[in-house]
Structure 1
């Protein structure tokens, strides 16, 4: 009896995971097609082949679903950053590597990049994983004398805002990938690096991210 109960529980959990995955994949296709503003729960459940009640079992609101998708994309990106950042001690070079690597990932996977762009246009909060990563880099850069001391929230808005605009222009084909070289160089210059050093660091990070 105990074995049967454990087997049933495992089977039920497997079905729940499959249904959740089906809903998420359906949501991705709907958002890419219609945008988050026009998408409805009816669209999601129709694409997934489940009932409205099933949707609510997993996501109480559309905002919860979007937040989950945003978190999933952010966690996937964060995992890809690890190998790309190995051995980089200079916080200025580290920031350049992070921005260029994420943009290069979206260029290589335009569907995911387009989805992230659509979700970023919502009122959802930024993902804490990237805020924490940026704040740590900024603290190290300021304490090491690489960046001038400034309000971290202002610095974060500069980088995140510039990144989002570059992401939009690149994903929509309004700018080429090399657009990011000047963008990151301008960010580093704003934090106190000379224009020449900022441009060299940015170009090196750009080439490494695309290698």
Structure 2
């Protein structure tokens, strides 16, 4: 009897996880196409093939769903980037590499890339994982003399703002993917590197990011 109960509980948990994943996937597609403000719960449940009551079992509010989507995108991307930090000693190179890797990841998965942009327009708590990663890299670069010493929040806003605008233009097809080379180079110049070193670092990071996307898992 105990084995049967445990098996049933495991099966029920598996079904719940599958339903939640289906809702997440459906919401990603709908919001990427329509935007968060134009999307509705009816859109999500229709796309996922579940009832409205089922939706509320997993996400009591629309904001809960958006927060779950933002968390999933951020955690998946952070997991992809995690090995990069242990491979690079120069914080300037690390920042360029991580930025180009994110651009490349969103280029490979345009639905997630567009969704990340759409979610930025909604007033939900931002994920702290990337802010903490940036702050640590910037402080390390300042301590080693690679970057100018300024308020880290100002540096973060400059880098994140430039990234979002670049990502937006790339998603819309307004610029080519190699637009990121000049964009990242300008960020590094703003942080204190020379133009010649900045463009060299950015070009190499761009090339490495393209190669990384071609490697088998």
Which TM-score band (shorter chain)?
over 0.9
The two structures have a TM-score, normalised by structure 2, of 0.92
Number of corresponding residues: 211
The answer on whether the counterparts of 1:35 and 1:118 sit within 8 Å (CA) in structure 2 is: yes
The corresponding residue for 1:31 is 31
Mapping of residues 78-93 of structure 1, within 5 Å: 78-93=78-93
| 1:206 Cα offset (Å) | 0.8
The answer on whether the counterparts of 2:28 and 2:112 sit within 8 Å (CA) in structure 1 is: no
| 1:100 Cα offset (Å) | 0.5
Which whole-Å CA distance do the structure 2 matches of 1:199 and 1:29 have between them?
A: 36
Structural RMSD (CA): 1.3
The corresponding residue for 1:9 is 9
The corresponding residue for 2:126 is 126
| 1:83 Cα offset (Å) | 3.9
Mapping of residues 107-186 of structure 1, within 5 Å: 107-186=107-186
Q: Which runs of 5+ in 1 are unaligned?
A: none
Which whole-Å CA distance do the structure 1 matches of 2:118 and 2:53 have between them?
A: 26
The corresponding residue for 1:73 is 73
Which whole-Å CA distance do the structure 1 matches of 2:108 and 2:5 have between them?
A: 45
Q: 1:57-101, CA deviations, whole angstroms, 9 ceiling, x for partnerless residues?
A: 111111111111111111111122134444210000000001111
Structure 1 stretches of 4+ with a deviation exceeding 6 A read none
Q: Which runs of 5+ in 2 are unaligned?
A: 212-217
The corresponding residue for 2:214 is none
Which whole-Å CA distance do the structure 2 matches of 1:166 and 1:92 have between them?
A: 19
